[in-house]
Amino acid sequence: MDLQASYKSKRLRLIMASHLAMVAFVLLLPACEKKQAQAPPPPAPKVTVDTPVRQNVTDYIDLTGTTQAINTVQLRARVEGYLEDVLFKDGDLVKSGQPLFVIQQNTYQSRLQQAEGSVLTQKANLEHATIEFARYSSLFKQKAAAETDVENWRYQRDTAQAALISAEAQRDLAKIDLSYTRVYSPFNGRIDRSLKDPGNLVGSGESTVLAEISEIDPLYVYFNLSETDLARLRQATGIERVSSSSETLPVFLGIAGEQGYPHRGHMDFASTSINPTTGTLLLRGIFPNTDGKMLPGQFARIRIPVGIERSALLIPRTAIGYDQLGTYVLIVNEHNTVERRNVKEGPAKDNLLVIEEGLKGDEVVIVKGLLKAAPGRRVTPEREGTGGPREKTEGQTHAGQPENPPQKMNQEPGEQQGQPSAGKEPGK
């Protein structure tokens, strides 16, 4: 009986303890829920915003090309002899007619003297034969000389005359050979390094290459234009055929280390057919290069204007997003809620992109922090820079009226108000 009573007492105590635990849990649960409900919500993410700007822009075709010298000549030894002197320094700028190499001259000077002596000899022979022919002709008329003597002196005269012509030709050839011992620059240009040092035998059995010289002012640039861009160019300019007189077709050029397209030239050649493999047309531009900074073989960025200047809205490139639905920007409405706006992008201008469709100009566009924003989500917009409205730059306004009148198609980029004109970047 005592064991049974002890068992019942323990069981009663366990039941009471479990009931007390359940009561405590029920009492504490509302307090926890209340504490969780009182936790403040996370702040809206901060994003940088800006409004579109309106600028005058021009459409361009951006291409790549290669520079090439307008003339390139290999200077060769045209006579055999030892190279006596090199009259320039490697890489010099040389003038037309400037002496560059001297080849052994004494041999050719002696040959010229020998040829001149031969000419004098043949002149004397001709004079003697002419006199004798006249004398025997007179004697023959007086029946004092044989006809064979007259014919013999006629033959001697004609032979001497032919020999004189041959001797004079040999003398002229000797003069030419002597002139070949001095090699002159055929035009103004830059000469490469000398390929032969003084003391070497040159022109022995071959026309030895001594150096190469290139005319680099002006300079050619070759590039290829697709059929689509060719149609745009023809439509914009109204010119069907490109020739050396097509100076109304401006071309702008920039090379490595230069900002923008500081060199202006014009198109002067177009190939007669389109390459069927690449579907492109070979074109050539010609550019002044008075300072000689551009060199043949350099990679060049080419820009061709294909329209007149017009007013357009521009936004930073960082504001543009891309997905399967196309190109878009994220804007912030008056309730600080993000909205998606599909847009059509146009040519680039510095770090801005032209927006052809999708924006009116008064929108608040997210330019930084696109990953923090999503359509329908609230954000905390902050202005770029000082937090105030974006300040206008020269030649541009915020969403509204163009400040500058349209310019002509052939106006150089950056000519108006110090602003570069828009155009797609190479490869875009």
What's 316's domain CATH number?
2.40.420.20
pLDDT (0 to 100) of residue 43: 83
pLDDT (0 to 100) of residue 17: 66
Answer whether 394's CB lies under 8 Å from 419's CB: yes
293 plus 315 within the same structural domain: no
CATH of residue 134? 1.10.287
**Domain final residue, candidates 269, 289, 305:** 305
Domain contains 224: yes
Tokens 């160019």 found at? 233
pLDDT (0 to 100) of residue 44: 84
The total of structural domains in the chain comes to: 3
**Domain final residue, candidates 243, 277, 305:** 305
Answer whether 278's CB lies under 8 Å from 230's CB: no
Instruction: Write out the H or E segment, with its range, that includes residue 119.
Output: helix 106-141
DSSP string, 131-142: HHHHHHHHHHHT
Tokens for 144, please give them.
């004092």
How far apart CA 308 and CA 237 sit, in angstroms, is 10
Q: How many residues does the chain have?
A: 428
How far apart CA 306 and CA 309 sit, in angstroms, is 10
For residue 420, count other CB atoms closer than 10 A to its CB. 19
Shortest CA distance to 297 belongs to which of 192, 411, 402? 192
300 plus 217 within the same structural domain: yes
**Domain final residue, candidates 305, 334, 360:** 305
233 plus 285 within the same structural domain: yes
For residue 309, count other CB atoms closer than 10 A to its CB. 22
171 plus 155 within the same structural domain: yes
301 plus 344 within the same structural domain: no
257 plus 331 within the same structural domain: no
167 plus 232 within the same structural domain: no
For residue 31, count other CB atoms closer than 10 A to its CB. 9
Domain contains 155: yes
Single pTM value for the model: 0.64
317 plus 377 within the same structural domain: yes
Answer whether 287's CB lies under 8 Å from 253's CB: yes
Domain that holds residue 356: 48-59+308-398
Tokens for 41, please give them.
């919500």
pLDDT (0 to 100) of residue 414: 44
How far apart CA 119 and CA 142 sit, in angstroms, is 35
Largest CA distance in the chain: 197
**Cα 70-92-195 angle, rounded to 5 deg:** 90
Non-local (6+) Cβ contacts of 165 within 8 A are: none
Domain contains 172: yes
367 plus 298 within the same structural domain: no
CATH of residue 252? 2.40.30.170
Domain contains 412: no
Order of strands across the sheet with 53-57? Answer: 344-349, 352-357, 310-316, 53-57, 396-398
Per-residue pLDDT of the chain (428 residues; tens, 9 = 90+): 455 656 566 666 666 766 666 666 656 655 555 555 556 777 888 899 998 999 888 888 889 999 999 999 999 999 999 999 999 999 999 999 999 999 999 999 999 999 999 999 999 999 999 998 888 888 888 888 888 888 899 999 999 999 999 999 999 999 999 999 999 999 999 999 999 999 999 998 888 999 999 999 999 999 999 988 888 888 777 776 665 556 678 999 999 989 889 999 998 888 888 999 999 999 999 999 998 889 999 999 999 988 777 888 999 988 999 999 899 999 999 989 999 999 998 887 778 888 988 898 888 999 998 888 889 989 988 887 644 433 433 344 444 433 444 444 444 554 443 344 444 444 33
284 plus 272 within the same structural domain: yes
Q: Give Cα 326 distance to the centre of its chain.
A: 32
**Residue 264 to residues 22, 232, 261, 294, 416, Cα–Cα distance (Å):** 89, 21, 8, 13, 15
- Parallel, antiparallel or unpaired: strands 46-50 and 380-383: parallel
For residue 394, count other CB atoms closer than 10 A to its CB. 10
160 plus 127 within the same structural domain: yes
How far apart CA 326 and CA 289 sit, in angstroms, is 44
**70 φ, ψ (degrees, to nearest 5):** -70, -30
298 plus 322 within the same structural domain: no
**Beta strand extents in 60-142 (DSSP E only):** 60-76, 81-86, 93-94, 99-103
Tokens for 292, please give them.
């000689």
How far the first Cα of the chain sits from its last, in Å, is 99
**Residue 247 to residues 117, 119, 412, Cα–Cα distance (Å):** 58, 56, 14
Q: Which residues pair with 354 in a beta bridge?
A: 314
How far apart CA 327 and CA 300 sit, in angstroms, is 30
Domain contains 168: yes
